Amino acid sequence: MTREGDWSAHSRVDITSKLIWTLQLAVGCLISGCSPQETFVCGFPSVVHLYRFVPGLPPTHAEVGAFVQWAKCVRSDSGEKAPLYINMDETSVAFHFGKQRGFVIRKRSLPPGKAHRKEKRTTGDAKANMSFLAFMTHNADIQVKLPQIFICNKNQIPAKTLKDIGPLPENFYLWREDSAWNSHAKMRRAMCHLVKHLKDYQGTHQIILLMDVAKCHFDSTIFSLATRQGIRLLYVPAKLTWLLQPADTHAFSLLKRRLRKAWMTLVVEGGTGEIQQPCWVREMFLVTKKLFTETDWHSSFESNGLLDESRLSQRILQQIGLDTPMEASSNVLTAEQLKLIFPRRAKVSHESVFRWALPKALPKAKPGAKSMAKPKAKPKVLAGSPPCHGTRKKKAAPALD
């Protein structure tokens, strides 16, 4: 998601997209009764701002308040341990950044004997993507130790290509799977990697894993694993990641911009207009490592209300219609508040999510005296006597005269 004030992605839109946005703007104004000036950013109707005019979808005070209260609850009940927020989110990374729009040289402006050369890009190259599971935290010293995981289809990067790629950067992983999409099983595997990398900090820090409510991020098995590993889960409300999740508000748009720039640099330096896959994968890892290890993400977590609700950014306060800082309770969310976080049809157990905060169940009562009674001892059989089968003959009753 593009950050507010950064509309470089929208500066290259074509006329058709502008017309579609204008129509959406008109419909939104008719439905909500708002003026068009309220939805324009830098001269373009913003889909993000139009989003809040659709009935039933605006980021309300209740949804953001429930999120801020959950964030305060997990850090207030951490005891002597320092809260360690870790945002995990995935984004798609392209194998090919060709066919971009930008500065074009006219034919008459070309040097003598030169002609335009058509860029070589197959349909497979245009559609090929891998998933990047990014981990980021507000602690700069711990950020360099977090895992960064790329998931690709094993057919896109054959095993023989791995030798050409060479060794991966420290704490970077490349998973070749049947599918590049994330899943419950891959999420559990990623959580185990996270715990492994943070084993030296579990005694002094309380790990708080922040995720959005994508289907692959919540499941009974994920809740159970988090409880066993001592991880507390925190979820961003549905359809509000563009507003509250640090990875979406501060990291991914910057990553895509740097990757696009790195691609164009390699194309120019190569001279042929083509980039070999191993070369691009290596460059992709280097760009990602430089961004995520050399950037201090503390301000992104702070402005999104994770570290202190009183430091919530004016951007968020404006979206929910507040002029003063938000106040939040440190109590565990109720079942009704939890429904504001997850999608409407999601089936999530309140007990499974907040198992760490709920009182532990009482131990089972000891069994009664009858069940504790020892079984009767069997009669001993003397040596040389016939075995007893429990069918002892009864003595005959004396005859009555």
Please list the alpha-helical segments (H only) found in 240-343: 241-244, 246, 252-270, 277-294, 298-303, 314-319, 335-341
Is the confidence at residue 88, as pLDDT, over 60?
A: yes
Cα(58)–Cα(163) distance, integer angstroms: 49
Q: Between 52 and 364, whose confidence is greater?
A: 364
Residue with tokens 């000036």: 37
Residue 10 — pLDDT band, cuts 50, 70, 90? very low
pLDDT for the residue numbered 272: 75
How much of the chain exceeds pLDDT 90, in percent?
55
Which of 48-62, 141-155, 199-213 is predicted with the least confidence, judged by mean pLDDT? 48-62
Residue 285 — pLDDT band, cuts 50, 70, 90? very high
Strand duo 172-177 + 148-153: pairing? parallel
pLDDT for the residue numbered 57: 43
Is the confidence at residue 287, as pLDDT, over 60?
A: yes
pLDDT tens-digit readout, 98-135: 776 666 677 777 788 877 767 777 777 778 899 999 99
Q: Between 115 and 174, whose confidence is greater?
A: 174
The full 3-state SS of 1-51, as one line of letters, equals: CCCCCCCCCCCCCCHHHHHHHHHHHHHHHHHHCCCHHHHEECCEECHHHHH
Most confident of 208-222, 323-337, 373-387: 208-222
Instruction: Read off the pTM.
Output: 0.75
Is the confidence at residue 305, as pLDDT, over 50?
A: yes
CB environment 287-316: b (16+ within 10 A), e (fewer):
bbbebbbeeebeebbbbbbbbebeebbeeb
pLDDT for the residue numbered 204: 96
pLDDT for the residue numbered 14: 52
Cα(303)–Cα(249) distance, integer angstroms: 10
Neighbours of 261 (CB within 10 A): 12
Which of 93-97, 274-278, 350-354, 397-401 is predicted with the least confidence, judged by mean pLDDT? 397-401
Of the candidates 9, 54, 70, which has an alpha carbon nearest to the alpha carbon of residue 213?
A: 70
pLDDT for the residue numbered 147: 97
pLDDT tens-digit readout, 234-281: 999 999 999 999 999 999 999 999 999 999 899 888 877 788 889 999
pLDDT for the residue numbered 174: 96
Q: What domains, with CATH codes, occur in the chain?
A: 15-51 (no CATH), 61-105+120-353 (3.30.420.10)
pLDDT for the residue numbered 171: 96
